[in-house]
Amino acid sequence: MSRKLLETDGQEWVEKGIITPEQHARLLALYPLDTHAIGLLPLLGSLLVGLSALSLVAANWQGLPELLRLGLLLVSLGAAYMTGEYFYRRGNDQVGLGLIALGLILFGASIILTSQLYQLIGYDLTGLLAWAVAGMALTWLYRSRLLFLLTAIISGVVQGYNTGQLGAFSYLTAAFTALGLGYYWWRRPDALTGAVLATGLLWQSALLVSYLHIKLTWFFVPAMLIYTLGDWQPYRPAARAVQGPPLVAAFLFTLGLALFGEADSYTDTLRPPLLAYLATLGAVLALSLWGKQRRGRLSSATDWLLLLPGFYFQGGLALAVATLVVLYAYSGAVLVRAHQEQNQDRITLGTGLFILTTAVAYFKLTWGFMDKSLFFLVGGLLLLALWWYLRRRASRTAAASSSQQV
Amino acid sequence: MNASLPSATNVPTLATTSVMTEPQRRRWLRWLVAAQALFVVGVAASGYATSYWGRTIWLQTAPVDPRDLLYGDYVTLNYTISQLPGRLWRGPQPPRAQQAAYVLLQARPDSTYAAVGIYPEKPSATENQAVLRGSVQDTWRRSVRLRYGLERYYVPEGTGKALEKRRHLKVQVRIAPWGQARITQVVPLPVSATTR
């Protein structure tokens, strides 16, 4: 609750006799006046001074002697870290961590600018890998979500640059990201860092698949390994966050398959060797189910419906229908579980997925042979009816859950 | 940040692992900063070392559209060895985009170097040969486009325009025994050489 709300509404509560003036004063005392606004001024001032120094240096950068440039980079690097640690120690975490993050960014900038200074060519990745490793070390040192986020981004950028520009995949960077940040998240489970970690790792998996020129469905093996990590994580919100991105990827893929899978010419690029693919994915499935069973979450096994390899069907309507059945089964399962858990957010999510699937199915199955005005009319009515039915179920569940709580 | 996300502080499970004491953290930070500074110095040292131990070769640039040449504070260089005939490829499989490639260079009478072969693995070189590492960018039926990382030359202030006017340049590159290469000099080619 913010102090502002207490100040404005609190007066009303006193007048209505909900709280006494003394209680109001005591409540206000819990939320002391915000001193950040005052602390911001020196920060803003030093930022401006820093910017002027930066523009001065940037304007004359090429004209400065080599060693002076190197010295400037090193001094600003050290200064950022040291002042950051100073503020952090004084209890000003935000400014402190901000400056530490700035130091990390300056480290990367120093590597790049120094390479440019000596015209060193870029196929040597060690420099950029060192950047990611430094970020990881700082994340562990300060236990900071900001630094975690920055490190995940840096690793992703390093890997992207490496694959895109240098034509090599750095397994070391991928392993460092997975182990360093993964272990951090495992020990300090958190929803935000979980989602960031999963997204970063998915990005690197996608780069690997494109680098190896293998069938793109192989992507789901590392993706579901990330998902499985969530199955083993005891802290539920963090587990869900890490499972979100892989599921979104799988859902979008299946949706794409339902929409465009009929053209067999391109589904063929989706089919890895049947046995190898099924065996690998099956192994991941077993690991995932084991984790679910150990943590008592077997009901979420329906997530794996999205991984049914429907693309092995020869194209045409059979594939489209099979994919739609999978989509219905999945979104239906999400809805059923949400109602069982009486989780309002997930009910909304499931409703959305169900309606989306219906729209796709309807479009897919009737567009070809239905009069267009009839198509839109029936489609609209269908969606409205579905929405009305699902809303009614949702409110009934909500009512049930509130009566249980009483 | 989204307020509904649980912050790391109210996670009851394994989160409350031993947090470092303040002196410990400061000591670690000092080591980390020192390591980072050393690393940057190391990058610079590798530049000096490449100049010192590297062998010198000269490469010739091919003409490019002058409008594209000067871009910000670097010039874009297009070498005669940037696009090579596909018959120079010496690998068992045809070249693929983004694959690493080692170009065997042979000295010519005019002291510049020309490509004699493209290899997927580093080949051995004789006395008047050198190996430059690059990567395959594009492949066509008859030719291969390669990238060496030497395509940008960060020019000292104000000299870019002078280079821009010359469409043929001679670039001095040093290649260290461990494979690192760097441009050490870019000079305009004499007019007689350009009107081959």
What are the pLDDT digits (tens) for A176-220?
899 999 999 999 998 999 999 999 999 999 999 988 888 888 999
Q: Does some domain include residue B12?
A: no
B153 part of contact set with chain A, CB < 8 Å: yes
Chain A residues whose CB is inside 8 A of the B2 CB are 192
B39 part of contact set with chain A, CB < 8 Å: yes
Residue B107's pLDDT is: 87
Among the residue ranges A268-277, B54-63, B163-172, the one predicted with the least confidence is B163-172
Question: Which stretch, A277-281, A367-371, B186-190, has highest mean pLDDT?
Answer: A277-281
Mean predicted confidence (pLDDT) in A324-337: 86
Chain B residues whose CB is inside 8 A of the A238 CB are 11
Chain A residues whose CB is inside 8 A of the B29 CB are 81, 85, 141
Host domain of residue B182: 55-191
B160 and B90 share one domain: yes
B101 and B177 share one domain: yes
Question: Which stretch, A47-56, A119-128, A244-253, has highest mean pLDDT?
Answer: A244-253
| Exposed/middle/buried for residue A47 (C-beta within 10 Å: 0-12, 13-18, 19+) | exposed
Residue B1's pLDDT is: 38
Q: Does some domain include residue B15?
A: no
B139 part of contact set with chain A, CB < 8 Å: no
Residue B11's pLDDT is: 46
State yes or no: pLDDT of A346 exceeds 90.
no
User: What does the DSSP 8-state code read for residue B112?
Assistant: B
Closest Cα in chain A to B50: A120
Q: Does some domain include residue A14?
A: yes
Overall domain count for chain B: 2
B99 and B187 share one domain: yes
Q: Which of A79, A20, A2 is nearest to A46 (CA)?
A: A79
| Exposed/middle/buried for residue A331 (C-beta within 10 Å: 0-12, 13-18, 19+) | buried
* Entry pTM: 0.75
Q: Does some domain include residue B87?
A: yes
Q: Mean pLDDT over all residues of chain B?
A: 77
pLDDT band at B97 (very low <50, low <70, confident <90, very high): confident
Beta B55-60 vs B70-71: how paired, if at all? unpaired
Domain boundary among B8, B33, B53: B53
Contact B154 A117 (CB under 8 A): yes
B40 and B65 share one domain: no
Overall domain count for chain A: 1
Q: HSE, CB side, 13 Å, CA atoms: give it for residue A317.
A: 4
Who among A81, A123, A192 is closest to B149 (CB)?
A123
Mean predicted confidence (pLDDT) in A362-389: 74
Residue A79's pLDDT is: 92
Chain A residues whose CB is inside 8 A of the B5 CB are 190-192, 237
Contact B17 A188 (CB under 8 A): yes
Mean predicted confidence (pLDDT) in B23-29: 88
State yes or no: pLDDT of B128 exceeds 60.
yes
B23 part of contact set with chain A, CB < 8 Å: no
Give the CA dihedral A117, A122, A126, A132, nearest 10 degrees. Answer: 80
Mean predicted confidence (pLDDT) in B10-17: 44
Who among B2, B25, B99 is closest to A141 (CB)?
B25
B122 and B176 share one domain: yes
Q: Mean pLDDT over all residues of chain A?
A: 83
Contact A117 B44 (CB under 8 A): yes
B126 and B168 share one domain: yes
Looking at the complex, report in whole angstroms how far the Cα of residue B172 sits from the nearest Cα belonging to chain A: 12
Residue B196's pLDDT is: 42
Host domain of residue A8: 1-32
Q: Does some domain include residue A7?
A: yes
Q: Which residues of A134-152 are buried (b: 16+ CB within 10 A; e: fewer)?
A: bbbbbbbbbbbbbbbbbbb
Chain B residues whose CB is inside 8 A of the A193 CB are 8
Contact B44 A111 (CB under 8 A): no
Q: Does some domain include residue B8?
A: no
State yes or no: pLDDT of A259 exceeds 70.
yes
CB B108 within 8 A of CB B75: no
State yes or no: pLDDT of A388 exceeds 90.
no
B77 part of contact set with chain A, CB < 8 Å: no
**What's the length of chain A?**
406
Residue B87's pLDDT is: 86
Among the residue ranges A78-82, A323-327, A340-344, B6-10, the one predicted with the least confidence is B6-10
Mean predicted confidence (pLDDT) in A321-349: 83
B102 and B185 share one domain: yes
Residue A299's pLDDT is: 83
Q: How many CB pairs under 8 A join A and B?
A: 142
C-alpha distances out from residue B50 to A73, B35, B183, Å: 21, 22, 10
